[in-house]
Amino acid sequence: MRVTLTFDNGPKPGATEAILDVLAAYGIRATFFVIGKCLENSEARRAAERAHDEGHWIGNHTFSHEIPLGLDMRPDHVDREVASVERLLGKLGHPDRYFRPHGKGKLGPHVLSAEACEYLIQNKCTLVTWNNVPGDWIEPRLEWSRRALQNMQGLAWSVLVLHDPHLADIMSTLPAFLDDALSAGFEFVQEFPLECLPILRGEVLRPLMDLVHDSNSVAGTA
C-alpha cells in the first residue's frame, strides 16, 4: 500500500523547515502546495527554496486561499489566484505545473470555475486532488494521525493532505505517524496515482463535471 505525502497552505516559517527536517531524517520526499501570498515573505520563500533544493516538489495552491474557485465570481479570479502564483513560483514550480485547488478539505463543483479549468488545460497544468484528509485542524488535533492511518487501511494508494501551519505546534505527531505507517508496511512515494490527476499536463484524463462549476462550458469535460 502506497502513501503520497502532501503539505498545503505554506510555506510557514518555522513549521515548513521543521517538516523538512523530519522528512530528511526519514528519507521521504513530498509535495508542498504553496499559497502565493506566503511566498511574498522572504523567509517563507527561503523555506520553499530549501524544499525544492532537497528534492521535494512544489505546486500552486492559489494566491489567497480564501474563496474556492468555483465560488469566486471576480472576473479576474484566474489571474489573481492561479496565474499570479505561477509567476511567483518561477523555477521553483514542478515542470508539470502542479495545481491543487482550495476545497476546504472536500471535492466538488466548488473547487474549480470553468475559467480556471480552461486555464489549466491551455497552460498544460496538472490538477492534483486527494483522497485522504485526516483533518489536522479538527479537534482533537492530535488524533489526525490515527484518522489518517484508519483512512489508509481502505486505500491502495493514499494521497494524504497535511498542512504546514496546522502542524506547527504539534510537529511531534509527524514522526510518530511515519513510524506507525512504516511499521504497518506502508510505502511512501512521491508520485501521484492517476485517479488523483484529473488533468495531466493539460490533458483531461477523466470527466470533470464533479469538480467544475458550470462544467458544460468547459471543453473536454465530458
Cβ contact 203:209 at 8 Å = no
Neighbouring C-beta atoms of residue 90, cutoff 10 Å? 8
Please tell me the pTM assigned to this model: 0.95
Number of structural domains, the chain? 1
The three cell numbers locating residue 129: 486532488
Give per-residue pLDDT as tens, 38-91: 999 999 999 999 999 999 999 999 999 999 999 999 999 999 999 999 999 999
Cβ contact 149:180 at 8 Å = yes
What pLDDT shows up at residue 220?
52
Residue 222 lies in a domain: no
Range of the domain at 23: 2-217
Which CATH number does the domain housing residue 180 bear?
A: 3.20.20.370
* Pairing mode, strands 187-189 and 2-10: parallel
Give per-residue pLDDT as tens, 105-128: 899 999 999 999 999 999 999 999
The three cell numbers locating residue 100: 491543487
Residue 178 lies in a domain: yes
Query: Which regions of 121-202 does DSSP assign to beta strands (E)?
Result: 126-127, 157-163, 187-189, 199-200
Residue 127 lies in a domain: yes
